[in-house]
């Protein structure tokens, strides 16, 4: 495949092959471990990071870096933390329910 064609389709945003390999490795390990929620959480984290990288280049060029980027980062991190807390609580509740049966 022609590299210029790929770049024109991705609108200048390309993901590093090492990042893609790491993402595939992490999600595959969680999938083999039978943890679909962890796969979803990590998919969100990687998508958030790749969106951050794409947004970073556009906000620096346009000058709205100080307003947009902190809000994006704060919302993403808060969402990630809340999803992890909910996942841990559900795991504890499930273990407690199964332990008392």
What confidence score (pLDDT) does residue 41 get? Answer: 85
Tell me what percent of the chain is helix, strand and coil, each rounded to the nearest 5: 85, 0, 15
CA–CA dist 70, 44 (Å, integer): 18
Taking CA atoms, 41 is separated from 9, 52, 61, 63, in Å, by 27, 16, 30, 31
Over residues 2-24, the pLDDT tens digits come to 556 555 555 555 677 888 888 99
CA dihedral 40, 41, 46, 47 (to 10 degrees): 60
pLDDT at position 56: 72
**Coil, strand or helix: which one is 55?**
helix
pLDDT over 70 (residue 70): yes
Count of C-beta atoms within a 10 Å radius of residue 54? 16
**pLDDT band at residue 25 under the 50/70/90 scheme:** very high
Across 6-10, 55-59, 64-68, 83-87, the highest mean pLDDT is recorded for: 83-87
**Model's pTM, two decimal places?**
0.60
Confidence check: pLDDT of 37 > 70? yes
The pLDDT value given to residue 98:
67
Alpha-carbon span 23 to 43, nearest angstrom: 8
Range of the domain at 51: 3-100
Domains held by the chain: number: 1
Structure tokens at 54: 């794409």
Instruction: State the pLDDT at residue 32.
Output: 92
């Amino acid at each position: 495949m022609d590299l210029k064609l790929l770049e024109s389709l991705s609108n200048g945003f390309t993901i590093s092959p090492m990042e893609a390999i790491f993402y595939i490795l992490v999600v595959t390990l969680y999938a083999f471990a039978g943890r679909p929620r962890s796969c979803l959480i990590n998919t969100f984290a990687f998508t958030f990071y790749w969106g951050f990288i794409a947004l970073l280049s556009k906000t620096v060029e346009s000058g709205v870096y100080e307003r947009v980027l902190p809000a994006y980062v704060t919302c993403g991190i808060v969402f990630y933390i809340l999803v992890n807390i909910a996942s841990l609580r559900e795991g504890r509740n499930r273990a407690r329910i199964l332990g008392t049966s």
